[in-house]
């Protein structure tokens, strides 16, 4: 296995452990990573999932190019579908996901980071979508999520040129939430904070926020209002409001 999963409290850390090839994602490794996150998505003991890479050189350097070069068009399409499945899961699973980017996050690695709810970068982090240099395009959501996160003009410049940027520039353009060393400690700190919040509130906020850049604005606002009212029937809402009145810390149970 090249995927390590560790739990500390309600925080899971998923580490891509293939440092000899900068944690590049082969088809087999991609399947392992997808299986790991599917397991965490269904695990009630996990409140927040953090994705990172082993070693200091790379988060995920992208696809395994040696393997990619052997694929037929049909095989490449299936590979894209598997990467899309994983990025979609990171984006939509019913708990927050955080990328702790500790080195190269290129191609598919950048796309996996973009699919997470929050992204933290080390000072040595490097981001890019260099597929154009190989005569191909991003296949795991890069043309779409990069524009949603950073704006269309910046996204086009990065995917058209294949330029690689550092953590500070990534912060300036809104690609990451913060730059910190050691980055995994920063990600764990935020994950622990989120894991103390109401799982129900986090889930519905994630669902609503994911709709913000698509669909009808009025309908999205209506959905927010409807959900706001519905949550008042939850035990978590009653606990949170009562704890505030009683001047104590709430204990949320996700019901």
Domain boundaries, the chain: 3-195, 199-245
Q: How confident is the model at residue 1 (pLDDT cuts 50, 70, 90)?
A: low
Distance CA 31, CA 22 (A): 17
CATH top-level class for 3-195? alpha beta
| Cα radius of gyration (the chain) | 19
Mark whether 32 is an active-site residue: no
Q: How confident is the model at residue 155 (pLDDT cuts 50, 70, 90)?
A: very high
Q: Is the peptide bond preceding residue 201 cis, with omega within 30 degrees of 0?
A: no
* Per-residue pLDDT tens over the stretch 45-98: 999 999 999 998 999 999 888 898 999 999 999 999 999 999 999 999 999 999
- The pTM is what? 0.95
CA torsion angle for 108, 110, 114, 118 (degrees, to 10)? Answer: 130
Domain 199-245 has CATH 3.30.70: no
Is 2's pLDDT higher than 80? yes
Give 161's DSSP letter.
H
- Beta pairing partners, 128: 106
Residue 14 to residues 54, 103, 129, Cα–Cα distance (Å): 10, 16, 23
State residue 59 phi and psi, 5-degree precision: -80, -75
Residues 6+ apart with CB under 8 A from 71: 79
- Beta pairing partners, 58: 104
* Per-residue pLDDT tens over the stretch 174-228: 999 999 999 999 999 999 999 999 999 999 999 999 999 888 999 999 999 999 9
Domains 3-195 and 199-245 agree in fold: no
- In this prediction, residue 31 carries a pLDDT of 94
Active-site residue, selected from the candidate residues 81, 131, 157, 169? 131
Mark whether 31 is an active-site residue: no
Active-site residue, selected from the candidate residues 20, 32, 111, 168? 111
């Amino acid at each position: 296995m090249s995927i390590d999963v560790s739990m500390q409290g309600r925080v899971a850390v998923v580490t891509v452990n293939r440092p000899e090839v900068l944690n590049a994602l082969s088809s087999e490794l991609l399947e392992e990573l997808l299986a790991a996150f599917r397991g965490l998505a269904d695990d009630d003991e996990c409140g927040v999932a953090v994705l990172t890479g082993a070693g200091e050189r790379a988060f995920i350097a992208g696809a395994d190019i040696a393997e990619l070069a052997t694929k037929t068009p049909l095989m490449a399409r299936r590979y894209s579908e598997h990467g899309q499945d994983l990025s979609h899961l990171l984006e939509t699973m019913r708990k927050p996901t955080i990328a702790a980017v500790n080195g190269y996050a290129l191609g598919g690695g950048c796309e996996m980071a973009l699919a997470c709810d929050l992204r933290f970068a080390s000072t040595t982090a490097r981001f890019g979508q260099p597929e154009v240099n190989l005569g191909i395009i991003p296949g795991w959501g890069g043309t779409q999520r990069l524009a949603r996160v950073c704006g269309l003009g910046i996204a086009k410049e990065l995917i058209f040129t294949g330029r690689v940027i550092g953590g500070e520039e990534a912060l300036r353009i809104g690609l990451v939430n913060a730059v910190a060393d050691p980055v995994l400690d920063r990600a764990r700190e935020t994950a622990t904070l989120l894991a103390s919040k109401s799982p129900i509130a986090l889930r519905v906020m994630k669902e609503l926020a994911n709709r913000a850049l698509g669909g009808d604005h009025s309908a999205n606002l209506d959905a927010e209002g409807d959900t706001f009212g519905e949550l008042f029937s939850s035990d978590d809402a009653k606990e949170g409001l009562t704890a505030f009145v009683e001047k104590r810390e709430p204990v949320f149970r996700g019901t």
